Chains A and B, each alone.
Chain A
Amino acid sequence: MRNQPNPTCRPPLQHPTSALVRVGSRLSSCRGWLATATAALLVVGTWALTLPLAVRAETAPARPSRAEPLTYERHIRPLLKTHCFHCHGEGGELGGGLDLRLRRLITAGGESGAAVVPGDGSASLLLERMAAGEMPPEDVEIRPTAADIELVRDWIAAGAAGRTEPDDLDPANYITEEERGYWAFQAVQRPPLPTVTETVRARTPIDHFLLARLSRESLTFGPDADPIRLLRRVSIDLTGLPPTVAEIEAFVADQAPGAYERLVDRLLNSPRYGERWGRHWLDVAGYADSEGYVDADPVRPYAYQYRDYVIAAFNQGKPFDQFITEQLAGDELVGQPFSNLSPEDAEKLIATGFLRMCPDGTAAGDVDQGVARNAVVSKTIEIVSTSLLGLTVGCAECHNHRYDPISQSDYYAWRAIFEPALDWKNWQVPTKRRVSLYTDADRAAAAQIEAEAKAILAERTAKQEQLIQETFARQLNKLAEELREPVREAYQTPAKQRTAEQQKLLKQHPSVNVTASSLYLYDKKAAAELKALADKANALRQTKPEERFVRALWEPAAKTPPKTFLFIRGDHEQPGEELAPNGLPILATADQAPLPVNDGDLPSSGRRLAYARQLTSPSHPLVARVIANRIWLHHFGKGLVETPGDFGQLGVPPTHPGLLDWLAAELQAGWDVKHLQRLIVTSTAYRQASRNRDRALQVDAQNQLYWRMPIRRLEAEVLRDSLLAVCGRLDLEMGGPAVPVMADRAGRFVIGKENLNAGRPGAVIDMHGAQFRRSVFIQVRRSRPLGVMDPFDLPIPSPNCTQRASSTVAPQSLMLMNSDFVTEVARRFADRIQSEAGKEMTEQIRLAWLAAFARQPTARELADATKYVAEQQEVFAASPPAKTAKQTSAGSRHEALSSLCHALLSSNEFLYVD
């Protein structure tokens, strides 16, 4: 519904998505820890934020302790910033003339006098109004707790102490030492490895950090996982596919030392690796093959090149700093104009597709252009902040951030980095933001063909005119003779010059109104003739060299960059002060040069390029931490910081800050992602078994300390790809235009080329096996999530997804039980087993187990499965299919085997990795 003005950020618009599911109607936009944590707990799986305090993070989180002397900066300012600054300091006009941003301003007070009288709570208006619930005003939803008010009371009683405030201290740009001291804003420093007693289990430096922490709780890692379990785990983690039977056999056969390490290298070098890990990055980049924003959700035909770029970058092991720089400023690395581009330069332009991923409705006719354009700017930079900075910078779009030291001016200065390319006053719609890959020679050839096509079309137009006249003459002849002449005259008179009489005459004889658009209704043959000519012209046009485009972001060459203004309350129609480009001050380091306003050495402003250099400098406090945390997240199901898109005050502090920094430092050392992953997957932490242990459960039920490997459900793409792989149908062709998604006759979104006829799906167009390609190559149309993946928490980018959910709901079960897709996969799986395992039932079952679960069945499982197949065979044989049902012609034995395969593929052992 339309909401009351809300003093807090409106989460759907301003805050990044998280995996949490909102529960209950009483919980609205902002609420206490309790509600959020409850929501977290209600989410199935491993996402809960909670753990007993005993095993909370290694270092103290930012929350202040009451044990130390109360000070303004440490205890009081954060809560006033959250609840009061908006009206009392930051909002322009001061409420009641009172500014609460500095201690001296508080004691000076406002129109009603001093807000605080040190040592005297009863004389302190601040406390009085807060305690009475009058402040913040009643309609403000988010409220200080009773504990907050107690804190204010105690602080005043103890003398309202705080830091000395120099007279020239500007409250508007004041960042306290406490704020600066927040862990995530400190430069990354590689910590020494903690010493551990269990040296045998410390395979990698990672294990040192984890073991040291575990031992403090008298815990340790679980035993190493069974090698075959580990094979399945690491194969799915690194390539998104279960190991094939041949791979299992090869791994089992390799008894030489280092077999596991060789396996890891093989997986990291597999092209499947880039498809899997590229997909993770595409989530945070908000990759989509459609523009979104409006209902029509137009397709982006060339976005796929960015997807292929990302996959290739992971496969090639492109250094991540270079990967970031190309995505933020690839255009500034290429000389303008962008003509006759080399493949290397084209690649750099394609990389800027990162900044062209968010929904863009600016080409639609019926949108408010000001709103739509600014949405593109703010959503694009939201993607930058949540993917690279791990901060909810967007909160500062309308007002100063309530928790993190990011002011509204900081936000717009940061936005100014991107505005020369995303200039909302001189906007380019999506079709203008693409660069042709045509060479001059291509262009000349195309022009020649176009001239020939135009000649054919001119012929068609002449023919059409002739046919209209002939048709008219025929229609005229159907009229009574005396009418013909007046009707002809009326028809031939231009519409505006017709007399009333003539108009009436034509109205009485509507069938003589032959026009170009109605000609087909009279004369099908004539229409066909015209169509043949049009087709001929079109066919000729098809012979032009194919023109591919790059969806890119760049700045107009040699142009003065636009001015960037702060938008008062985030409203683009209310510009405030002008701001020069700047990274966020809280993240600035001493050695950092200011960003150029307009770099004279480049055709562009140079702002993004310089900013990319800042981000990838070793002194940047966040980028390496954020990326290292993401890599960890995708191996362990949760990050060391459990809020991968928010490292700020509202995020969850790291469970292992030392390890996070060590990983970040290791990443910065060469920006080698594969290297970091090799360290992770060869660690004991990663190689341990997933089983629960009672004592460990009692101490740390949420496994925050990594005393076991968590069990994780397959993501939507991995599930689909694994099903196709196991049944032997997966098509491994890489790259190229997205495989399209359409609505079928029942309204399900399926893979297929849309072929509408009066709005309904017409004849099905053969996809020639493209329907079996890996999910990363299937079109991401925001309005058409693929039916078989949608129930499994497939994200719909709006603008991006910083962390996926893992839900457990009935539609998933129904899909696995009954869908055409899964039952078809089960039949094909049975085909494969029958053809590969021979006629012996036992061998067939063994192969099924190996392919689906990467292990041999136990004797009992084998016996049960044999019995199941025999019983199902009886059931199917008792009701033979009707003769017309061709799919079941393979006989009851095949049907029974398919049913077994179906059960394996819908079982938890298949759906989860442990």
Chain B
Amino acid sequence: MTPFDRLQSNRRHFLATHAFGICSTALAWLLQQDAASAAPPKPNLAPEHFDLKPKPPQHRPAAQAMISLWMQGGPSHIDLFDPKPELTKRDGQPFPGDIKYDNAAQASATMLGSPWKFQQHGECGTELSELLPHLAEIVDDICLIRSTRTGVNNHGQSIRALNTGQIVGGQPGLGSWLTYGLGSESQDLPAYLALTDPGQLPVLGVENWNNGYLPSVYQGTVIRPQEPRILNLTPPARLAGTAQQRYLGYLENLNRRHLAQRPGEHDLEARIASYELAARMQTAAKEALDLSQESAATQRMYGMEDKATRDYGSRCLIARRLVERGVRFVQVFTENQRWDHHNSIRSGLPSACKKVDQPSAALVKDLKQRGLLDSTLVHWGGEMGRLPVIQNDAGPKKVGRDHNTYGFSMWLAGGGVRGGMTFGSTDEFGHQAVENVVHHYDYHATLLHLFGLDPELLNYEQNNRVRTLLEGRGRVVKEILA
């Protein structure tokens, strides 16, 4: 069933796919009942059934899957994506307008021009910072949005705005909405996966992949950086492999013998079948996570040979493998506040870029060469950019930049988005988005459009209130559609 013809409820839900048909006597009874006179129609007393079976969108979709590369902390747009010659020119001078700071004690009004050089790349000629040499190679495939705005100046709220549409907690994220609306192409893998960094979880922790008020079948499943990679779906390391095969074999013997003494107990048979299904899911997960199946060239492309890029690169590669296998939504998180350069931006930013630049670009290249980019939307971005002024004015090595959610950059590739373009702009210093502003809800409206989903019909009723991702806001940014 689709959410669009569903009477809503916030009741109990079941991931169940039931194994039984109708037995013959019962069928006869049913037919008799149907013919019987004046049998009152029976209202459905049942809870809703929510599942992950594929569901059709409302209109022809461009995108079928999404990979969101989440740069938690807020990469400095004015040092990476959004060149500001005027800022460079007036480096060291006082900022001429109003600025909202996050950290007053270290605040200053002194402008800081980008220490890095920008250069045009590709046929489109988009200017990018020297910190992103690999992105430069795929610049003709990306749409760089330079006018993103959430307007809420701290991490948690801005993450929520971009990931769930609302700044308060308890809301479903994009992955939950997409899997709720569209299900998944794979029934042997979770529909929505979050790949976490070996470092700390991002700000908001597990809330990042929470299902909010949607049924928990739409919750993101975490792929951990170490075994067991998916809790409950993969066994603890000591119990994996031969040990588990034997365990499952022995368990089946126990269950078969138990059943043999209780002939005709369908529920017992169904449970034996459910162990088989569980084992299949486990195999599918293991296979999807097995990067040794990838060629050396592919592994190299993702930077898996280099210590700096190995971890993030392997997660980008896993993301591709998941999408290839029908997973609807994958989010790759960088570690807690990796991009939150309140200080020492001169060393911190290059090091953060080094970890993600090559693998991110490799993902787009790889999807493209496999013919998957057209149907896979790739998103790269964080919850904020940085201010054009200095934070922590304690010498060139120590300076950093404070939060800026009023104008910052992110990029999209594939999935029906036009490549080789930039969209929108910030003011001459990069503080405020001024032209073609893309609010978080505009971004979401555009995503739903790309997936063929009607923003009003993709809804859920909770406590007599119809909830949607957009809550009535947002415009489809048609200018960036392919």
Contact = CB atoms under 8 A, between A and B. Distances in A.
Interface in B20-78: 20, 22-23, 25-26, 28-30, 32-49
B37 A151 contact: yes
Contacts of A343: none
Contacts, number: 391
B101 A813 contact: no
A760 B14 contact: no
Nearest to B272: A908
Contact of A521 (B43, B106, B210): B106
Given A21-B49, A872-B243, A746 B231 contact: yes
A23 interface: yes
B347 interface: no
Contact of A9 (B30, B43, B99): B43
B453 to A, nearest CB: 12
B270 interface: yes
Nearest to B104: A518
A868 B14 CA distance: 35
A37 B5 contact: no
A677 interface: no
Nearest to B188: A810
Interface string B178-216: 000000000000000000000011011111011011001
Contacts of B253: 864
Given A1-B459, A761-B206, A64 B38 contact: yes
Interface residue range, chain B: 35 or more
A692 B266 CA distance: 12
A871 B38 contact: no
Contacts of A72: none
B307 interface: no
Contact of A812 (B2, B274, B279): B274
B94 A711 contact: no
Given A295-B169, A814-B281, A907-B258, A29 B209 contact: no
Contacts of A11: 7, 9, 43-46
A315 interface: no
Looking at B29, B46, B98, the one whose CB has the most chain A CB atoms below 10 A away is B46
B262 A902 contact: no
A646 B45 contact: yes
A620 to B, nearest CB: 24
B464 A44 contact: no
Interface string A894-910: 01000110111011110
Contacts of B255: 907-908
A521 B103 contact: yes
B459 to A, nearest CB: 6
A798 B242 CA distance: 44
A808 B46 contact: no
A199 B284 CA distance: 59
Contacts of A507: 98-99, 109
A423 interface: no
B228 interface: yes
Given A2-B466, A22-B48, A39-B46, A760 B201 contact: yes
A50 B26 contact: yes
A142 B171 CA distance: 34
A779 B263 CA distance: 39
A522 interface: yes
A783 B219 CA distance: 13
Looking at A41, A293, A359, A887, the one whose CB has the most chain B CB atoms below 10 A away is A41
A48 B26 contact: yes
Nearest to B7: A29
B258 A713 contact: no
A875 B247 CA distance: 11
A746 B281 contact: no
B30 A50 contact: yes
Given A13-B464, A31-B44, A813 B271 contact: yes
Interface in A28-61: 28-39, 41-46, 48, 50-53
Nearest to A743: B206
A870 to B, nearest CB: 11
Interface stretch (A84-92, A231-239, A508-516): A508-516
B454 to A, nearest CB: 10
B46 A25 contact: no
Interface stretch (B117-125, B233-241, B295-303): B233-241
A903 B254 contact: yes
Nearest to A144: B41
Interface in A103-149: 142-143, 145, 147-148
Given A521-B104, A814-B282, A692 B7 contact: no
B206 A745 contact: yes
Contact of A21 (B46, B155, B222, B268): B46
Contacts of A582: none
B259 interface: yes
A903 B251 contact: yes
A450 interface: no
Contact of A50 (B29, B105, B106, B278): B29
A828 B17 CA distance: 33
B233 A3 contact: no
B156 interface: yes
Interface residues of A, number: 150
B264 interface: yes
B12 interface: yes
B170 interface: yes
Nearest to A297: B170
Interface stretch (A75-83, A205-213, A533-541, A611-619): A75-83
Nearest to A759: B204
A293 to B, nearest CB: 6
Contacts of A372: 463
Contact of B45 (A63, A75, A643, A819): A643
A31 B45 contact: no
A243 B12 CA distance: 32
Given A52-B29, A63-B38, A711-B262, A511 B459 contact: no
A518 B228 CA distance: 43
A765 interface: no
A521 B104 CA distance: 8
A868 B445 CA distance: 57
Contact of B38 (A79, A515, A756, A783): A79
Interface in A377-404: 403
A820 B236 contact: yes
B44 A813 contact: no
B107 interface: yes
A98 interface: no
Contacts of A142: 41
A888 interface: yes
Given A13-B464, A808-B19, A908-B268, A885 B238 contact: yes
B225 to A, nearest CB: 11
B267 interface: yes
Given A31-B42, A876-B238, A906-B251, A44 B20 contact: yes
A760 B265 CA distance: 45
A783 B214 CA distance: 11
A670 to B, nearest CB: 33
Interface in A649-669: 649-650
27 contacts: A1-B8, A11-B9, A12-B10, A30-B42, A33-B30, A34-B34, A44-B16, A44-B18, A44-B20, A147-B35, A297-B170, A359-B463, A515-B104, A650-B40, A690-B262, A713-B267, A747-B205, A760-B203, A760-B204, A806-B267, A807-B14, A809-B17, A813-B278, A818-B231, A899-B243, A899-B247, A908-B258
Q: Please provide the 3 A-B residue pairs with the shortest distance between their CB atoms, ordered closest to farther.
A: A295-B170, A12-B9, A25-B1
Interface of B: 1-12, 14-20, 22-23, 25-26, 28-30, 32-49, 94, 98-99, 101, 103-109, 155-156, 168-171, 200-201, 203-207, 209-210, 212-213, 216, 219-220, 222, 224, 228, 231-236, 238-239, 242-244, 246-248, 250-251, 253-255, 257-259, 261-268, 270-272, 274-275, 277-279, 281-282, 336, 456-457, 459, 461, 463-464, 466
Given A12-B9, A815-B232, 4 more contacts: A20-B46, A34-B33, A759-B203, A912-B268
